[in-house]
Amino acid sequence: MNYIGPFLRVNVLKLDNMLYQLFYLSKESFRHILLNSKCGIQMNHKEINNKSFNNDNNTFRSISPLLAIYKKASPVLESHNNKLFWREEKFKKEILVKSNGLLCYNLLKLYTLAKQIINNEEDKKLNEFYLLLAEKQLVFFINNLRNSEGYFVDKVQESSEDVTLKQKDYKIKFSDQLIIMNCCYLLHLQKENEEDFRNFALDIFQVFIDNKEHLYSESKEELLLCAHFLKDFSKMSNHPVAKFVLVDLIELLLEKSESLDIVEFNNKYSFYSSMFILLNDLPITDEIEKFNLFKTKAIKSVLGDLEVGKGIVNSQMNSKEIEYNSDDIMNLIIALMLYCKNDSSSEINALVKDVYRRYIISSGIILSWPDTPDINNPERYRSFSKKSEDILDEQYFKLNSFPSPEDSLLAPVFVKDLEYNIKKQKFKEGNSSFDSYKNMYIFYLIFNNLGDEYLKFHIKK
């Protein structure tokens, strides 16, 4: 018996615990959705069986990998023969470009992170499969999610009998094109001699440049997404024009931040949180002093909307109930975690812990939490060493207050929104629903911004 844990298991919150918990939850939730939910168009099993990584590996015999994910589903699970199943009659079979682009991008981000740290053969084979699946997804998007002009657009699957898709939305969104661009470029970086994907990404970028004057009429939400995706592309490609356009786009967002629609917006904390994340670790030098000043202004605005013991304090406090979107909440939490790395004062630490307790632990934002890996699993150890001195405490993986998917019969996903009753001072139990975009965006936030911190637990110095 190498390890049995402490007698009393008390939830102890520290920044590294909170960070690791979120990353582990997101990684396992993403894997569950991708491989086991069947909530989308699935990869043909013949393609899995014909690959060398399938030999003598039970993992690949029981999965149903997604080529594309549907818009919505019920996360209420059914159990048959000790296996959990999503209810397929509840699937809303719309296929949104952004949800699917983020699905593929998250998959590639997990691949790039895992490639640096895993050292056992079974995990290496699964990671090889992730890369193959990402390529299959991109090919599917390119062949099935474009309109007659070549732009990526939202579609709907009208029949379960085939994958023929009908165009649903005729609006062309810049952010849809950019997330697919990033997937193509990231795949190019991970696979040798994949110049076709690089060239395709650069073609998308050129079309974006040719039409960027239309950005000025877009909403702040669309501009923010475009800026985040363009930042990712600039860091990946080191493309000088991409950096120039990124500067231009950030300056446009700074202008919009002065307008009344931001100031009066009830969830302005989300806008400023997202701006802080955007301006953190920028791959540019132009206008950097001005951007750093706004970054300071953004985090001060966020902190000004928070109070220990009360959480987010804004104009909605005068109403009976406060509504929160889960992606707004996660923007806030990621921004605070990034800020806490540079300001570790006791006041900021107390505020981060209070926000985490209120909006992660007590709110119902997460329906269930995957169990901690057992002591035979390499993931339970720093550097996957399986040495007793490297074992990570359960607190790095899961909070004791959360049920597992098996116990709750709920998928480990983020809900779409929350309601807080001010008089009762408690969160209202909301409808259990799965929104693919909300979840894929939250995973994107976590993998993109906390991935390097996760690696630090496993890469030996």
pLDDT score of 47: 73
Amino acid identity at 242: A
Helices and strands counted in the chain (H then E): 15, 14
263 pLDDT higher than 50:
no
Q: What is the C-alpha to C-alpha distance for residues 183 and 444, in angstroms, rounded to an integer?
A: 12
> What's the distance, Cα to Cα, between the start and end of the chain in Å?
29
In 375-402, which positions are buried (b, 16+ CB within 10 angstroms) versus exposed (e)? eeebbbbbebebeeebbbebbbbbbeeb
Q: Which amino acid is at 184?
A: C
**The CATH number of domain 15-456, selected from 3.40.50.150, 1.50.10.10, 3.40.50.10860, 2.60.40.1180:** 1.50.10.10
Q: What is the pLDDT of residues 301-341, one digit of tens each?
A: 999 989 888 888 775 556 788 889 999 999 999 999 999 98
Could you report the per-residue pLDDT of 85-106, keeping only the tens digit for each? 999 999 999 999 999 999 999 9
- Residue 223 carries which side chain, given as an amino acid letter? L
The domains of the chain are located at 15-456
Q: For the residues 200-205, what does the mean pLDDT come to?
A: 97
Calculate the average pLDDT of the chain.
89
pLDDT at 266: 55
Maximum Cα–Cα distance across the chain? 65
363-416 confidence digits (pLDDT tens):
999 999 999 999 999 899 988 888 999 999 999 999 888 999 999 999 999 999
pLDDT digits (tens, 9 = 90+) for 338-366: 999 888 788 899 999 999 999 999 999 99
